[in-house]
Amino acid sequence: MTATDRAVELTREAAKAADDKKASNIVALDVTSAMPLTDVFVIASASNERQVVAIADAIEESLHGLG
């Protein structure tokens, strides 16, 4: 089983929001078959804590806009 279309849409939006805030090494992992509570993990790197917070906030705002 693979991630749903909705999960893929949300993943793309999260990755775009992270990229807009200059995150690096952005990776999306489809964990649908291994994790019953989620479809995808998005993992990204940042150079400092302030940037991590900015990235997380941007992702949350972006996804909140999609419902």
- Can you spell out the DSSP letters for 14-60? HHHHHHHTT-EEEEEEE-TTT-TT-SEEEEEE-SSHHHHHHHHHHHH
pLDDT at 1 over 80: no
Residues 20-64 pLDDT 10s: 999 999 999 999 988 888 899 999 999 999 999 999 999 999 999
Residue-wise pLDDT tens digits, 9-31: 999 999 999 999 999 999 999 99
